[in-house]
Structure 1
Amino acid sequence: MAKAVIQKNWYEIQAPEIFDADEVTETPAEKDSQVVGRKVREGLEDLMEGTDKYYADVTLKVTDVEGNKAFTEIAGMEVSKEYVSRMIRKRSDRFDLVHDTKTDDGKTVRIKVVGATVRNTSSKTLKDVRNAMKDLIDEEANSATYHEVMEMIFEDRLQDELRDIAEDIYPFRQLEIRKTELRD
């Protein structure tokens, strides 16, 4: 087993340009073609300086290999299940939204939002919030590239706008983008 690993080449997995970190990790493979398509999960705190999202993981997918460097793109991000479960409390409603949207560069992104209301509320009120959020997500994504949308999510700019829209309709204790997926 150890002999098989020794005969393989090691490739440095590089983070996309929007992150502060350059090299994420290393991976062994016999050929370049075996590295393309691999996915790596890394904590957002490790990739971006100054973020307080200790509970978020970013999935990076290898798209290109040059020499011993493997270049990646963001395949998505996810918030830990423990963080989501701490958001929801008694006498409040859980709010969920799953919405597919297209970015300016033609990529389809599935964005999943989770939130907790201050008190129990009606399904009509939650539906109104959901519709307002879908419109905002579409508006923001249609005018930005995929990497710009992900950067807005990582820096909490999109979440702040979603909170502002939600607060106009009904007060929320917390609101977070729980998961994003690049759909191809």
Structure 2
Amino acid sequence: MARRKRQTRVKDKWTMKKWFTLIAPEYFGMAEVGYTPADDESKVVGRTVEVTLAELTNDYSNQNPYKKLVFKVFRVAGENAYTKFHRFELTRDYLNSLTRRRTSKIEDIVDVQTADGYVLRVKSVAFTVKRCQSSQKRAIRKVMNEIVKENAKKSNFVQFLQEAILGKIPAEIYRSAKKIYPLRRVEIRKIEVLREPKEIVEERALAKAEEKVEAEA
């Protein structure tokens, strides 16, 4: 009898929930990237969804299946949960496939600010053809650091994301750093949002307040 009651409670709990459609940011085409259940829309805000670039663009060529994007819900309207960019990273399997014996792996981490005020943590990595010296590693790391900072400084958030994820910035690093030592590959392996511009935060807070007023009216 007790077991039947527990099963009934679990069933009732699920029947109270509804499914919300997760929507990618506008600069990623506002594609549907998944669904999430909740009995209250306030519980959806803050949830994250992970999708590969291949799934998002329906393009499985090149490294797209190994590029992961994480979006976070910031607003719910009706049955749609709208997301913002939270994190980008390469899969561990892909990075492991690039690591080889008797070669060097050079990594750099830098916090940058885009032209429109986003503060990001960017992690880049370079793989050499053969093992290089410590002085060459330092020189290549400096090139990586400077190119990432310069691109962030002159680009807005969306432009920087696109150029980092789609390969323009890694290609620029490759062209400059290979003059120091022959390289096999350069990648931006991770991008995280540390802080959004104050105007964006205030704009979202205002929109949320207006939606609450409309819902209560």
The 1:64/1:21 distance shift into structure 2, 3 A limit, reads closer
Matches within 5 A, 1:1-184: 1-20=10-29, 22-50=31-59, 52=62, 53-184=64-195
The 1:11/1:92 distance shift into structure 2, 3 A limit, reads same
Task: Return the structure number with greater relative CO, CA threshold 8 A, min gap 6.
Answer: 1
Deviations 1:12-47 (A, max 9, x none): 110112224611111111222211111111111011
Write 1 or 2 for the structure with the bigger share of helix.
2
1:181 and 1:16 map into 2 onto residues whose CA distance is 16
2:88, 2:192 within 8 Å by CA — same for their partners in 1?
Answer: yes
Report % sequence identity.
30
1:169 and 1:2 map into 2 onto residues whose CA distance is 64
1:13 and 1:2 map into 2 onto residues whose CA distance is 24
Higher deviation after alignment, 43-52 or 139-148: 43-52
Root mean square deviation of aligned Cα: 1.5
| TM-score in terms of structure 2 length | 0.80
Higher deviation after alignment, 2-11 or 59-68: 2-11
1:44 and 1:6 map into 2 onto residues whose CA distance is 33
- For 2:41, give the aligned amino acid: D
Where in structure 2 are there 5+ consecutive unaligned residues? 1-9, 196-217
- For 1:69, give the aligned amino acid: N
Q: How many residues align?
A: 184
2:21, 2:79 within 8 Å by CA — same for their partners in 1?
Answer: yes
1:21, 1:46 within 8 Å by CA — same for their partners in 2?
Answer: no
Runs of 4+ with >6 A deviation:
none
Write 1 or 2 for the structure with the bigger share of strand.
1
